[in-house]
Amino acid sequence: MVDEGRRPTIKEWLDEATREALLEEKKRLAKLQQIIKVSESLEISRLANVLKVDEQYVWDNIFNWAEQFGFKIKENIVIFGQCDTSAFTDELQRQFDTWDDKTRSKKSKI
């Protein structure tokens, strides 16, 4: 934390921004887990919206994820059925962590 009377250093500001981003990612994944728990399917655009990622990124990965985790795709809808949803959200978390590691690595060079 930064004293009230001074401005944060760039490192302090980046550390706080990183903490906030990690918290936001956890909220997004929790929201997705909640949706999957009560829904049989989800539009790909909604999946991208919930995750706050570009829809093209989802389209680029969705068929690999479907094969890996056992859900189906019908037109623009993910049908969860009997898929391993916790493994799916764990994989998304790993991908977010990878992005965070790359971001932190870039920030540490500042």
Closest CA to 24 of 106, 87, 93: 93
Reported as a single tens digit per residue, the pLDDT across 50-76 is 988 899 999 999 999 899 888 899 999
For 40, residues 6+ apart whose C-beta sits below 8 A from its C-beta are 79, 80, 81
Give how far the C-alpha of residue 65 lies from the chain's centroid of Cα atoms, to the nearest Å. Answer: 14
- Range of lowest pLDDT (3-17, 44-58, 81-95): 3-17
Confirm if 69 and 84 have CB atoms less than 8 A apart.
yes
Higher local confidence (pLDDT), 24 or 55: 55
State residue 51's pLDDT score. 87
Domains with residue ranges and CATH for the chain: 10-108 (1.10.10)
Instruction: For residue 92, give Cα distances in angstroms to 18, 48, 87.
Output: 18, 12, 9
Reported pTM: 0.66
State residue 101's pLDDT score. 56
The type of residue at 25 is E
Higher local confidence (pLDDT), 39 or 5: 39
Burial class for 88, CB neighbours closer than 10 Å (0-12, 13-18, 19+): buried
| CA–CA distance, 15 with 39 (Å, rounded to integer) | 36
The type of residue at 46 is R
State residue 100's pLDDT score. 54
Q: Would you say residue 19 has pLDDT above 80? A: no
